[in-house]
Every structure is written in structure tokens, then in C-alpha cells.
A and B are shown apart, each in its own frame.
Chain A
Amino acid sequence: MSDANATTGTNAEPRIWKRPPVLIRDPRWRIAIYGGAVVYLILAIASVEVNWVRVYDGLERGWNFIYGFLAPDFTSRWTDISQGLIESLTMTVTSTVVGVLISVPIGIGAARNLAPKPIYLACRAIIALSRALQEIIVAILFVAMFGFGPFAGFLTLSFATIGFLAKLLAEDIEDIDEAQAEAIRATGASWWQLVNFAIQPQVMPRLIGLSLYRLDINFRESAVIGIVGAGGIGATLNTAIDRYEFDSAGAILLIIIAIVMVAEYSSSYVRKWVQ
């Protein structure tokens, strides 16, 4: 704090200035929140039991993994890798397409300005369910019901797509420019025509963008649900890591990163083309 300075006494206020609080204005809240945070951190960190010996031993394995990442082995397990990859890619495509197809009617049904109340509530419930349940848990359930393999994975990802796409679609529809919809309604158009002429042109570009984004997400998810048996490259990865074959694991990870990068670039390109 700067020392009190009474040089020019032209006004009564002392010429001291302290920095105004950056985040929280009220001093009571500030103390409560900062204090609470400190207490929490102490408790939380204390609760983490670390077997440091194990960690130290594991560091060597860690180096092996880094080497495996830098000098990946694509060849020795190639049949397994390619099969897993094909499963993942096919799952991604089919689940995204089917997911989008189902999401569109559900999204329309979940838009307050288009759907009657009971349909609106039902659709919103489906969306909430899809969003609340983690993909892995859904995968476990579907594997139990439908057996191991990519079919269960396909169902999982389609279901997950609904929660993502239908929600954003419904929000988009609710945000449209009402004036255009009103104009169409005034002509006596049927409900279908209203959707086709007023809603669709406004939400279509964003829908395409979102679908591409979801394609990317579904691919990343497809690499994971294999761990619980729902097909895809996750199972291959799991096996490789279990066997400490870090060079194969590194190869798989690099393939995943590469595909995600390609998907990201092409999706931004396609989105610009559509706009």
C-alpha cells in the first residue's frame, strides 16, 4: 500500500490508491471463497494416496511408452490395427448418419415454437436422457443387451448423437427469425411447408456444421468404447497396452491423432464451402 501522502490538499480525499479487487467485489464473499478453496485443496491433495515407489518403477515404462510414440510400430500388429480401425471408421459413419436422421425429427419436436406441448416434453426428455448418460455406460448396457461387437457401438454412438444434435438443433429453431416464419404462416402454408420454407434454410448451414463436428466426436468416442467391448480400435489399443506393447500402442495413437487432424481441416473447409 502506498504511504499516505498529503501534498496538494486541494480536495479532502487522501491520494492513496489501492488496486480494485479483480474477481470478487464483496470482501466477505472473497474471504469465504478463497478460504474455502484453500481448505478444499488441502483436503483433496491429502486424500490422494500415491505409491511413490510404484510411480518411480513405472517411470521406466513411461520412457518405453515415449519411445514407442516416437518410433511407432505399424507392422507387427497390423491386422489387428486395421480391423479395429475399419470397425471404428464404419461405426463413426453409420452412427453419425443414423444419429442425424433421428435427431432431426426429435430436434424439431423439441422446439417450443414448432411442437405441441406433449411432444415437446417427450422429446426434451429423450434429449436429457441421452445427454446425462455417459457414452461408456450406455455402451456397457448395449453390450449386455446386444452382445459384443461394433453393432452395440453403433447404437451407443447414435444414441449419444441424439442428445448432442437434437438439443442444438432445437435451440437453433427456437432462435430463428420469427418474422420469416410468420410470413409463411400468413400464406396459409401447412406445417410441413412451414418447416421446409422458413425453418430449414435458416438452420441448414449450422446443422451441416454441427453434423461434421459430431462426426469428429463420434470417431474419438469410437476409439474408446471398444474398451468395454463395443467394437472399434479401443479394444486393440487396450490389448496392446495390457501387453506393454507400447510401440503398437504408439502407432494406434498416432493414427487416431492423424485422423482427427484430417477431419478437423476438412470439416472447416467444408463448412466454409457451405456457408
Chain B
Amino acid sequence: MPIGTDTDTNTDTGKPQWQHRTPRSRLMLWFGWLALVALTVYCWQVMTEGTIWAFVADAPRQAADIGGRMFPPRWEYIDTLWLPLWDTINIATLGTLLGIVFAVPVAFLAARNTTPSAAFVRPVALFIIVASRSINSLIWALLLVSIIGPGLLAGIVAIGLRSIGFIAKLLYEAIEETDANQIEAVTATGASKAQVLDYAIVPQVLPSFFGISVFRWDINIRESTILGLVGAGGIGLELQASLNVLAWPQVTLIILVILATVVVSEWVSAKVRHAII
């Protein structure tokens, strides 16, 4: 039951005709809005229970204070940033590769038309995907640093774990959307399941697969920059260190470097995805 209104362009006069909402749907719509507003106000009150409004009022002054200390950025500091930046890119790239390695089989197990068992295997694969997607890479990093210690490996595995869900979800949707005719034809020649996969399904999903992977790599660069905050290596470590000693000019420089990296990686990813299509 559509709750919206209906705009029809009457071609004779060019004037849109507005269909009346029925009184009932009008009431429901009004009620819906009311519920939403009530919910929001309630949440606001609960949320700001502990807020010290004096701090909030003080914020502009604080901002000006910090802002003054943040500029000018400490440009010389950039020499110490090159190695962490290289680390960050490696975390993102190696992590993406790790994610791809696991995401591909999971995607095939999750797709309705390629899963070996719709009752048992598919739900497990779908759960793996949801679990991986629900947990932010920073949380994964937190866990891994606690388990295997700080360093790049924790970051790489964290990025990998997060990427599995993202890549597998988009990939299995692409697999389910493949043209059934092509698959039927290859099956009719007497091909085995593996051959059908190789000749009929893989060629169809290959372009999507590359697009998805490059897209995830771009997002991973963004996420890798801050993993160091919890000790997982990369430029985030420098950020954490600078924040701890309140060295604001350094913080500014690091933020600028992160911004630049993100912009470059987005440009690269857009170019590569354009070239694939």
C-alpha cells in the first residue's frame, strides 16, 4: 500500500493532478511522523542526560583555542611519516587480498544457484557475511591487537576480516544475477559443475568482481589510516602518539596527509573501475 501521493502529469494542460490521500492513509502518515518525532525527542533526552552543557557552550572557545594550536602544521614532521604511510598502504592492499581469497569461496557458497546445500551451507555462509560486515575494522583491529599483539599483521588481518563480508555480499548478488540461459547451455554439453563454473559463471561475474575489489581497496585505504590508533600499525600510530602528547601541529599534518592519501586512492580507484567497464 503506497503511502505517498500520486503526481500525474496531465498531458493536455501540463498541470499535475494530485490524487487525494484517503483519510485513513492520511491519519496513518500523520501518526507515523508523530511516532518518529516522539522517538527522536526521547532518544535525545536519554542521550544528553549526562551532557555537561557548560562544555558545549564552551566549545567555540575550545575550537578556537585548538585551532590556533593546530595551525600552522608542522611540515618538517612529514619525514617521519613516509614509512608509516607505506605501512598503511600495505595494510590496505594485503588486507584486501586476504579478504578476496576468503570472500570468493564464501560468495559461491552463499549464492542460491551455486551453493552445494541450500539448507545448511548457505545460512552459514550468509552468517559469516553478516558477522564480518557488522563489525567495523577498527573493532577487529582492537581484538587482534589484544590477541596477537600490536603491529602490521593485526592490521592486515583486521582489514581482511572486514573485507570478506563486503566483497562476498556484492559478489554473491552478482552470481545470483547471472543469465541462467548461458549456464543451461554449457550444462547441456555434458560439462561438469566445475566446468560450468569456469565457462558460464565466472566470465559473467568477472567485471563485477574486479570493480568490487577495487572499490573495497579504496575504502580499506581510508580505514587503514586510523587502525594505528589501537596499535595495528600504519600512520594511525603517529596520530595516536601525537595526540597523546597534544602535539597539535603534528596532528594537523597527519590529518592532511591522510586526506591527500584518501583523495589519491579514490582517484586511482575511479580510474581503474572506469577502465574495467
Residue ranges of A at the interface with B (Cβ–Cβ < 8 Å): 22, 40, 44-45, 47-51, 54-55, 58-59, 61-62, 65, 86-87, 89-91, 93-94, 97, 132-134, 136-137, 140-141, 144-147, 149-151, 154, 180, 183-184, 186-187, 197-198, 201, 204-205, 220-221, 223-224, 227-228, 231, 234, 237-238, 241-242, 244, 249, 253, 256-257, 260-261, 264, 273-275
Is the beta-carbon distance between A132 and B263 smaller than 8 angstroms? yes
| Docked pose: A267 CA to B112 CA in angstroms | 22
Q: Chain A residues with Cβ under 8 A from B229's Cβ?
A: 136, 227-228
B contact residues, total (Cβ < 8 Å): 64
Q: Which residues of B contact A (CB under 8 A)?
A: 1-5, 7, 9, 14-16, 36, 39-40, 43-44, 46-48, 50-52, 55-56, 59, 62-63, 66, 86-87, 90, 93-94, 130-131, 133-136, 138-139, 142-143, 146-149, 151-153, 156, 206, 222-223, 225-226, 229-230, 239, 243, 255, 258-259, 262-263
18 extra interface residue pairs, beta carbon distance < 8 Å, beyond A54-B148, A90-B44, A151-B48: A44-B93, A55-B149, A90-B43, A93-B39, A93-B43, A137-B255, A144-B66, A146-B55, A147-B56, A150-B51, A154-B47, A183-B16, A220-B136, A224-B139, A241-B142, A241-B143, A249-B143, A253-B139
B230 — which chain A residues lie within 8 A by C-beta?
227
The 10 closest A-B pairs by CB, nearest first: A147-B55, A260-B134, A90-B47, A90-B43, A58-B148, A54-B149, A93-B43, A44-B90, A224-B136, A151-B51
Q: Which residues does chain A contribute within 8 Å of B148, judged by CB atoms?
A: 54-55, 58-59, 62
Q: A150 and B47: CB pair below 8 A? A: yes
Q: Is B255 touching A50 in the complex (CB atoms < 8 A)?
A: no
Of the candidates A47, A198, A237, A256, the one whose C-beta lies within 8 Å of that of B86 is A47
B residues in contact with A220, CB < 8 Å: 134-136
Let me know if B47 and A145 touch, CB within 8 A: no
Q: Identify which of B15, B135, B143 contacts A256 (C-beta below 8 A).
A: B135
Task: List, sorted by A's number, 7 A–B pairs whose CB atoms are closer than 8 Å.
Answer: A47-B90, A55-B148, A201-B4, A253-B135, A256-B134, A256-B135, A257-B131
Q: Is the Cβ of B43 less than 8 Å from the Cβ of A89?
A: yes
A133-B259 in contact (CB<8A): yes
- What distance in Å separates the Cβ of A40 from its nearest Cβ neighbour in chain B? 8
Closest approach, in angstroms, between the C-beta of A55 and any C-beta of chain B? Answer: 5
Contacts of A274 in B (CB 8 A): 2-4
B66–A58 contact, CB under 8 A?
Answer: no
Q: Tell me whether A241 and B149 are in contact (CB under 8 A).
A: no
Report the Cα distance A102→B224, complex, angstroms: 29
